[in-house]
Structure 1
Amino acid sequence: MKSTKPAITLKRRNLVLAGFGAGIAAPALAQTGFPNRSLRIIVPFGPGGSGDISARLCAQYIETTAGQPVVVENRPGANGVIGTMAVKAAPADGYTLLLCTTSTHAANPSLIRNLPYDPTTDFDVVGMFGSAGSYFLVRSESPLQSIPALVAAARAQPGRYSFGHFNTASRMPAEILSKAADIQLLGVPYRVVGTAMSDLLAGRIDFVVQETSAADSYLKNNQVRALAVTRAQRWDRHPDLPSIAEFYPDAALPGLLGIAVPKGTPMLVMQRLNEFAVGALNSSPMRERLEEFGHTIGRYNLEDCATFARDLRARYARYIAMAGIEPE
């Protein structure tokens, strides 16, 4: 009788190969033993923004799913460089994660001379949470009622009107507006968003471009008024609020919000972290909160993450050059 052993072996071999062709399955990833201890997510900005909130929601999901504690640590300063460098210096084992943003992974290479890290060679983006728009905000008592009114006022008094910025997402729309409208606006840098908002409410600066997530409480309390949102189209949540693109298309800037790890992190670990990011994004608490913030949500694998980050860096390099901003 002819033995059936070779056929069975071949069948098993084909099943294994099919499993790899479809991508590493969750059981295979579980065999890596990752994670088997606590993780840390470093947020390179202060608390309160959509990035900080996203990191904490993702941490909660990982804790529930993996059964390991996740500590979220805010390390603000130098437009995200301080926190980013802390993750660069960490072991490439997947246990120290970076909340990567437009600033850290798209704009800083063009804004900061001698940047002490390279987003491409020092990090891999393993998850994305989409991105939200921001509001052009003035305090409630401001006489400025619209973007055209702001432009007209700034044109009449060059250098008189100021905006506060604390990261790239809060700086670039105002810089592009200044360039596109041919007006002079005074940028005032802040270390954290809370200080900028305090100065806005006190009348020490004239406007702030602030993430929708962090600004909504100010709007609900009638402390500020929104002139526009930095999306390409109007937002269904505020249909009467103009998009900045209706006046100056280049000022509607996309953004990056996600999780990155130091270069050299094992592929199986990166795939596991990608699973966590995708799972968190599709969990009810995080998805509902991000949709409330106005995030554009997608399902991003590792290749999608790398492509989006690379393309966004090129786009911001063009924007920054267009705005005439020299690296500092």
Structure 2
Amino acid sequence: MTITRRGLGAVLTSAMLVATTGPLMAQADFPTRPITYVIPFNPGGESDVTARFQQPFMEEILGQSVVIQSRPGAGGATAWAQLNSLEADGHTIMNTIVPHTILQPAMKDVGYQTADIENVYFFHYTPDAILVPADSPFQTLQDLIDFATENPGALTMGGSGTNTANHLASVIFGDLTGATVTYVPFSGSAPAMTAVLGGQIGGAMSYTTQAVKAGDQVRALAVATEERVPALPDVPTFLELGIDHVGGAYRGVAVPAGTPDEIKQRLSDVIGEVNADPEFQRQMTEAGYQVVDIPLGEIPAFIENRRAAYATAIERMGGS
């Protein structure tokens, strides 16, 4: 078959059109309808709250509504196991959390592996905090440590599920202090705090955000940050108290496997733009969150860094 110069030009033009009407056009047109933002926990927890902080900023940037949908269960594992069965066109995104998505598959079969979760951005860090009711006899963290050391297992501490950030924090806390508490898993941090306020448990291995939200109903004994949290200026850090613990939950956004790279990058850019907004930063800081920026290209290294950091605790918890 002979192709003339004119014919060759037509073929090349056609090929160029095909190349530029695939992923690049998909990126240019995205989104074409509302975004569904799946939260794997109950309403009222940190994942739900921060998604609602993001929501108006994302809607303004994307020009589409963002619909928040809760799918709680198994400390997030129920939703994460379903993530890759969802439509992979960027119109469905899902909240994810480290260490949850590292711990859970390491401990048992939860229907997904860490590598199955295609994160596009981690946008905030929620520091660990030990909280007790306002009328608790524990005035300081040392009071709690002394009691839990002298009465192993007598103190019940709630948290957001098994093999989650709160569970990990309770194990690390015991290893660092010698205190033995009984960890009680709930379906999220909000239900755990309800149990604390109702006197059903002695305290919670929770987050700075729950301390801010509960106000004078609770006493925060320590926070796991490098420096004191602006929203809780009177609460000492673990470091100040001689305990080498800085940690918490890193929350991000993931998409189903097979989502085009261009759309993943677009979503990463959008979340980064939201993070940079002074009003968004103000809301997050006042609520006790710490904004972090871990975009798409930095996520593999971040996950490996966290996996290494949790290795000893995972082994201690019976995982692999």
The TM-score with structure 1 as length reference comes to: 0.82
In the alignment of these two chains, the number of paired residues is: 295
The residue aligned with 1:81 is 77
Contact 1:127-1:301 within 8 A present in 2 as well = yes
Cα 1:193–1:130 change in 2 (3 A) is closer
Q: Give the corresponding residue for 2:235.
A: 241
Match of residue 214, structure 2, among 213, 218, 224: 218
Measure the CA separation in 2 of the matches of 1:246 and 1:117.
38
Aligned match for 1:253, one of 238, 247, 257: 247
Is 1:144 aligned with 2:153? no
Cα distance, 1:216–1:140 mapped onto 2, change above 3 Å? same
Question: What do residues 208-264 of structure 1 show as CA deviations (whole Å, max 9, x unaligned)?
Answer: 022222331212xx2111101121333344343211233464542243111111222
In structure 2, relative to structure 1, the CA distance for the partners of 1:91 and 1:172 (3 Å cut) is same
- SS of residue in 2 equivalent to 1:98: strand
Aligned counterpart in structure 1 of residue 38 of structure 2, from 24, 42, 55:
42
Which residue in the other structure is 1:185 paired with? Answer: 181
Deviations 1:154-175 (A, max 9, x none): 1221221110111422222222
RMSD (CA atoms) = 2.2
Single out whichever of 71-80 and 81-90 deviates more from structure 2.
81-90
| 2:114 is equivalent to residue 119 of structure 1 | yes
Give the Cα separation in 2 of the matches to 1:203 and 1:160: 15
- Write the letter of the residue equivalent to 1:263: A
Letter in 2 for 1:295: Y
**Unmatched segments (≥5 aa) in structure 1:** 1-27
What SS does the corresponding residue of 1:129 show, helix, strand or coil? strand
Asked if the contact 1:79–1:103 (Cα under 8 Å) also holds between the matched residues in 2, the reply is no
Residue 325 in 1 paired to residue 317 in 2? Answer: yes
Structure 2 portions without partners, runs of 5+:
1-23
SS in structure 2 opposite 1:131?
A: strand
Identity of aligned residues (%): 29
Within the candidate set 295, 308, 326, 2:289 is matched to 295
Compared CA separation, residues 284 and 160, structure 1 to 2 (3 A): same
**283, 292, 312: which one pairs with 2:277?**
283
**Separation in 2 of the partners of 1:180 and 1:159?**
16
Deviations 1:2-43 (A, max 9, x none): xxxxxxxxxxxxxxxxxxxxxxxxxx7785311111111111
Supply the AA of the counterpart residue of 1:92. Answer: A
Name the structure 2 match of 1:16: none
Matches within 5 A, 1:6-85: 32-85=28-81
> How far apart, in 1, do the equivalents of 2:293 and 2:224 lie?
23
8 Å contact 2:90–2:264 — kept in the other structure? yes
Over residues 247-303 of structure 1, what are the superposed CA-to-partner deviations in whole Å (9 max), with x where a residue is unaligned? 464542243111111222111101110111011112243221112234333443311
Change (3 A) 1:248 1:77: farther
- The answer to whether the 8 A contact 1:125-1:306 is kept is no
Q: Which has the higher strand share?
A: 2
Which residue of structure 2 lines up, in the alignment, with residue 194 of structure 1? Answer: 190
Contact 1:54 1:286 in 2 (8 A): no
One-letter amino acid of the counterpart of residue 125, structure 2: S
Q: For the residues of structure 1 that align with 2:224 and 2:149, how far apart are their CA atoms? A: 21
Write the distance in 1 (CA, Å) between the matches of 2:153 and 2:232: 31
Counterparts of 1:90 and 1:84, CA distance in 2? 11
Regions of 4+ moved over 6 Å: none
Provide TM-score, normalisation by structure 2. 0.84
Amino acid in structure 1 at the alignment position of 2:146: A
Q: 1:186 & 1:106 partners in 2: Cα distance?
A: 23
Q: Which residue of 1 aligns with 2:310?
A: 316
Q: Contact (CA 8 Å) 2:130, 2:207: kept in 1 or not? A: no
User: SS state of the match for residue 48, structure 2?
Assistant: helix
